[in-house]
Structure 1
Amino acid sequence: MKIAIAGTGYVGLSNAVLLSQHNDVTAVDVIPEKVDMVNRRKSPIADAYIEDYLKNKKLSLTATLDGDSAYREADLIVIAAPTNYDDATGRFDTRAVESILSQIRRVQSKAVVIIKSTIPIGYTEKIAKVYPELSILFAPEFLREGKALYDNLYPSRIIVGIPKGKEDLLPKARLFASLEQEGAIKENIPVLITGSSEAESIKLFSNTFLAIRVAYFNEIDTYAEEKGLKTEDIIKGMGYDPRIGDFYNNPSFGYGGYCLPKDTKQLLANYQDVPETMIRAVVDANETRKQYIADHIASLSPKLVGVYRLTMKSGSDNFRSSAIQGIISRLKKKGIALLIYEPTLDKDTFEGVPVTHDLDSFRRDADIILANRLSADLQPVKDKVYTRDLFSRD
């Protein structure tokens, strides 16, 4: 089967690699450097499994800037374009998705279209009416940064949503699910074919639940630190209850990254005419946590605060909406001098803060070092490090 993938970010590239094990896949992007890297079997994103598969596996995968040809010749098209949350409109910015759909229509493609970009609840049904000649389905992704291909090879579940009134697309939905299963290593993967609005809800409610869990354990940590209690023992004792579990419970500076911040805000927007308390609370709790961390650091009267990495976690190259950025902005407003160590950033400043690639001088000059996640780099100056990373994971 000929498959075109629109976008080579975490979602697009991981699906391109997964599906190209058994299908002819063309990855489409607008950035020449990314296309060139994929064609040279180099990953443009930090993901160990993608890097390994591109280098060592037999894949029928090419990348191109020519979306017209790729979409025209495809039997199936996966849209994995970015949909950032727009605070001005209070919803995801879906213009990139609609641009690709317009391009698919313009070249008169007969392919089945799978939207994997995260979208508002009800979006697929609405957009299917705008493009009635296209067969559009929605299949949410459940991927972690840095482990996107792994999570496709060992998926927790496969969900495919069909717009209301388009029930004749059921065979196509089952076909896509089977293609994902074929590429996976895990067997007996749960598959749910449902309505597209239900599938969109599964995505947003799942990520919001994870955000609630992050915020909850962070608030436990805030309480314990303020009261002089040992957070680690509290969380361990809670985790022995199998209903709570010892996972996704490592305190941090707040949730961030590609998904949780924007998905929680979008879900809150979807609740505009529905009574709710908890969804708004988790959005507010994340801001409260960042403010608490900033206030605590300021109370120590540092001369120079070092920020160790802008990335969310080890093994990731993503800065987007990382919690540390919220803390940086708060410390800047307090007039505190800052220095960022970020070896992957090819700039001298970030948001007006000096950036260094010199780890030794960074460790020497900063009197407090903020680290959302611990690293061996900081072991020689561990007495300077402020982190809430208790378990060295998540």
Structure 2
Amino acid sequence: MFARRIAVIGTGYVGLTTGACLASLGHHVVCADVDVAKVERLRAGKVTILEPGLAELVAEGQAGGRLEFVVGAAAAVGDAEVVFLCVPTPMGQGGAADLAAVESVISEVRTILPVGSIVVNKSTVPVGTAARVSNLLKRKDVPVVSNPEFLREGTAVHDFLNPDRIVVGCDIQDAAERVAALYSRLGAPTVLTDAASAEMVKYAANCFLAMKLSYVNAIAELCERLGADVADVTEGMGYDRRIGQSFLQPGPGWGGSCLPKDTQALLQVAAAVGYDFSLLQATIDTNTHQRQLIVAKIREAAGGRLRGRRIGLLGLAFKAGTNDLRDSPALAVAALLRAEGAELTGYDPGIDQHVDGVRVVSDPYEAAKDADTVVVLTEWPEFRGLDWTRVGELAAGSVVVDTRNHLDPDALRRSGLTWWGVGRGHLDLGQDLAAVI
């Protein structure tokens, strides 16, 4: 494999992981960001993103002279053969992806990109963005390639270095092959296609995962109504190779930095071409309903009302192993609880920052103290090992609402607590099930 000179624009979650991992593959990588303070921290080897293995890769890349950090895109692209765009594409007006950061970078570097270099869209962007960027560049000698990322927070380094597949799309075959060659050491299946299809792969994959999560949450609610156990149901489903075990865990709804904005963006793209994507809309509506259902469960556990009730929240990040609060379902549930007048105290092993409406504490037992109900919202492994007898002694109430089915119900019962999960208990509807069927 030939080592390439690579520029990565943006040092957020995707950009920093991309830069550090490409450097670990032997390439020389210059990462750029507009945040001067962030660049200074990274130059000093300080990685604030909670991601296993990332800080170590950054340190290795810097020590080996293969990874450096600069301020501004223009400072990074001077001799780059490949330029990765890893800038934010947040949800904009109406749900469409906001490409302002992409356009700003292109405007900055358009005239200084080396002849024959390649621009790569790594950020999640709508179908047609590669063509749009190419038009903005006005450089026939600089092809634009789509190379979507498929990184899961908490396992991003592993995912990058052990990918299920590499997807590269460009209408110029040689450019696609040159980008695909950057990953040749990984030995992953590679899909070479046109730019529009590559862009569509990312949205199609993420929206399918969102549908799967919404589906299992709906099944969990049905299990409660029928007295079935969703854990056994999903185990039976998951052994079917056509379905698989992943994304079959019910919870407080899906969230994070990708699924909410990607589902909305694909809805907008579909509407723009006159397609009523009702299945995807139902996926989003089911997710909203799931959060309301969780709040109803907490309300019941708190005695039928939330105003003035103290609720202890265990977990604030959108998933365990991260310190990412973006579109966290835990915070969405917290907002609904707060809207009904609940007083919230929260603990998360990865969070030490201010969270609106939640008193964030540094100890899980402090979160449980005087709580009318304790609620598990993020599946941190350490929650399983808490002294639940102590939790019961500190809390005012005896019910623990486990929105992730993460805890051992028997362990809580032995501690004198009542465990309420999702989809694992019979919901008394005041009628005989046999009479219904």
Scaled by the length of structure 1, the TM-score of the pair is: 0.90
Aligned to 1:360: 365
Aligned to 1:196: 195
% identical aligned pairs: 30
Q: Secondary structure at the match of 1:74?
A: coil
1:327 is matched with which residue: 333, 349, 362?
Answer: 333
Aligned to 2:149: 141
Aligned to 2:50: 46
Aligned to 2:13: 10
User: Does the aligned pair in 2 maintain the 1:18–1:180 contact within 8 Å?
Assistant: no
Paired AA for residue 243 in structure 2: I
Higher Rg: 2
Aligned equivalents of 1:360 and 1:107: distance in 2?
56
Q: Which moves more between the two structures, 218-227 or 140-149? A: 218-227
Shift of 1:254: 0.8
Q: Any residues of structure 2 matched to 1:274-293 within 5 Å, and which?
A: 274-293=275-294
Aligned equivalents of 2:79 and 2:59: distance in 1?
27
Aligned equivalents of 1:322 and 1:230: distance in 2?
26
Q: Secondary structure at the match of 1:311?
A: coil
Aligned equivalents of 2:176 and 2:356: distance in 1?
44
Q: Are 1:152 and 2:152 matched, yes or no? A: no
Q: Secondary structure at the match of 1:20?
A: helix
Q: Which moves more between the two structures, 74-83 or 337-346? A: 337-346
User: Does the aligned pair in 2 maintain the 1:374–1:387 contact within 8 Å?
Assistant: no
Aligned to 2:240: 241
Shift of 1:69: 2.3
CA, structure 1 residues 149+181, in 2 after alignment: closer, same or farther (shift >3 Å)? farther
Aligned to 1:37: 41
Shift of 1:287: 0.4
The Cα offsets for residues 76-115 of structure 1, whole Å up to 9 and x where unpaired, read as 11000011112x2431011001111111114354331101
Aligned equivalents of 1:34 and 1:64: distance in 2?
10
Shift of 1:147: 1.6
Paired AA for residue 252 in structure 2: F
User: Does the aligned pair in 1 maintain the 2:167–2:192 contact within 8 Å?
Assistant: yes
Q: Which moves more between the two structures, 31-40 or 94-103? A: 31-40
Shift of 1:59: 5.7
Aligned positions, number: 381
Aligned equivalents of 1:156 and 1:78: distance in 2?
20
Shift of 1:140: 0.6
Aligned equivalents of 2:15 and 2:339: distance in 1?
38
User: Does the aligned pair in 2 maintain the 1:157–1:191 contact within 8 Å?
Assistant: yes
The Cα offsets for residues 167-194 of structure 1, whole Å up to 9 and x where unpaired, read as 4x32121111111223x3xx2x111121
Aligned equivalents of 1:226 and 1:3: distance in 2?
55
Q: Secondary structure at the match of 2:83?
A: strand
Q: Secondary structure at the match of 2:77?
A: helix
User: Does the aligned pair in 1 maintain the 2:126–2:269 contact within 8 Å?
Assistant: yes
Aligned to 2:387: 380
Shift of 1:31: 2.1
Q: Any residues of structure 2 matched to 1:150-229 within 5 Å, and which?
A: 150-162=158-170, 167=171, 169-182=172-185, 184=186, 187=187, 189-229=188-228
Aligned equivalents of 1:190 and 1:386: distance in 2?
42
What 5-or-longer segments of structure 2 have no aligned partner?
304-308, 392-397, 408-437
Paired AA for residue 41 in structure 2: M
User: Does the aligned pair in 1 maintain the 2:17–2:156 contact within 8 Å?
Assistant: yes
Q: Are 1:101 and 2:106 matched, yes or no? A: yes
Shift of 1:56: 4.7
User: Does the aligned pair in 2 maintain the 1:77–1:113 contact within 8 Å?
Assistant: yes
What 5-or-longer segments of structure 1 have no aligned partner?
none
The Cα offsets for residues 251-279 of structure 1, whole Å up to 9 and x where unpaired, read as 11111111111111111111101133211
Paired AA for residue 352 in structure 1: G
The Cα offsets for residues 107-137 of structure 1, whole Å up to 9 and x where unpaired, read as 3543311011111112222231222214211
Q: Secondary structure at the match of 1:385?
A: strand
User: Does the aligned pair in 2 maintain the 1:374–1:389 contact within 8 Å?
Assistant: no
CA, structure 1 residues 73+294, in 2 after alignment: closer, same or farther (shift >3 Å)? same
CA, structure 1 residues 384+374, in 2 after alignment: closer, same or farther (shift >3 Å)? farther
Q: Are 1:336 and 2:339 matched, yes or no? A: no
